[in-house]
Chains A and B, each alone.
Chain A
Amino acid sequence: NAGVTQTPKFQVLKTGQSMTLQCAQDMNHNSMYWYRQDPGMGLRLIYYSASEGTTDKGEVPNGYNVSRLNKREFSLRLESAAPSQTSVYFCASSDRRQGNYGYTFGSGTRLTVV
């Protein structure tokens, strides 16, 4: 009954540090997504994975990389964090083939880069 699980919930990084945000879903969904949420900007797509083994850039991919480790897990990596990457990051999953057009979101990771 977990849905989409994101870790960590909070993180403070220094400029230039790297980190990986983890995401796992237990709904057997085919597609997974990473969004960032900033005030007044809504949710902007960073990267997505339509299916296991594929990844594609979204609207704001610069400074990020992703890995679709398996069907359950989709990680987001910041190689050299910058203050502009301070944001709340959400992972989501869906599967239109199952009739799940709507996303299931995780609870988010609040990242601060100082």
Chain B
Amino acid sequence: QQQVKQSPQSLIVQKGGISIINCAYENTAFDYFPWYQQFPGKGPALLIAIRPDVSEKKEGRFTISFNKSAKQFSLHIMDSQPGDSATYFCAASPHGSSNTGKLIFGQGTTLQVKP
């Protein structure tokens, strides 16, 4: 069973600080790594994504770092704001699922940014 393991389960950060969420996967057969943000009572929404041929991708205050050899990828939220308080999911798409787009999700991280 292909798996994606996410940590920490919960995270509390002061406003202006850096939030870091980590994910690890167990095999090399993934070709797309997105992050989703979910607010209470809503469905997850795509935040940022990366492919394994790139080591880093930045969009505004959000950055994905990807370490192919370690089979790890992480989300960094710079200058964290109370509005960033949400649940974050990492995910990975199995290689060969180009016709299905199937995603395997991590367990989720609940982020609270204190004012």
- List residues of chain A with CB under 8 Å of any chain B CB: 4, 31, 33, 35, 40-45, 48, 50-51, 56, 58-59, 90, 92, 94-96, 101-108
Which one of B6, B44, B99 contacts A105 once the chains associate, using CB atoms below 8 Å?
Answer: B44
Q: Given the complex of chains A and B, what is the CA–CA distance between A105 and B100 in angstroms?
A: 16
* Shortest distance from the beta carbon of A30 to any chain B beta carbon, whole Å: 8
What residues of chain B lie closer than 8 Å to A103, measured between beta carbons? 36, 44, 46, 101, 103
Tell me if B89 counts as interface (CB < 8 A to partner A): yes
* Shortest distance from the beta carbon of B55 to any chain A beta carbon, whole Å: 19
Tell me if B28 counts as interface (CB < 8 A to partner A): no
Q: Given the complex of chains A and B, what is the CA–CA distance between A40 and B109 in angstroms?
A: 9
Which one of A43, A44, A101, A106 contacts B101 once the chains associate, using CB atoms below 8 Å?
Answer: A101
Contact A31 B100 (CB under 8 A): yes
A43-B44, A50-B100, A101-B34 known; 20 new pairs, CB 8 Å cut-off, are A31-B100, A33-B102, A42-B6, A42-B105, A43-B89, A43-B108, A45-B104, A48-B102, A56-B100, A94-B101, A96-B98, A96-B101, A101-B32, A101-B49, A101-B93, A101-B101, A103-B44, A103-B103, A107-B42, A107-B43
* Shortest distance from the beta carbon of A106 to any chain B beta carbon, whole Å: 5
Q: Given the complex of chains A and B, what is the CA–CA distance between A51 and B1 in angstroms?
A: 24
Which one of A41, A48, A92, A104 contacts B100 once the chains associate, using CB atoms below 8 Å?
Answer: A48
Interface size on B, residues (CB 8 A): 26
Nearest B-chain residue to A100, judged by Cβ = B101
Q: Given the complex of chains A and B, what is the CA–CA distance between A90 and B107 in angstroms?
A: 15
Which one of A40, A45, A104, A108 contacts B9 once the chains associate, using CB atoms below 8 Å?
Answer: A40
Tell me if B's interface is mostly helix, strand, loop or mixed: loop
- Choose among B6, B45, B89, B105 the residue with the greatest number of A CB atoms under 10 Å from its CB: B105
* Shortest distance from the beta carbon of A38 to any chain B beta carbon, whole Å: 10
* Shortest distance from the beta carbon of A66 to any chain B beta carbon, whole Å: 14
Q: Which of B3-48 contact A (CB under 8 A)?
A: 6, 9, 32, 34, 36, 41-46
Contact A43 B34 (CB under 8 A): no
* Shortest distance from the beta carbon of B78 to any chain A beta carbon, whole Å: 22
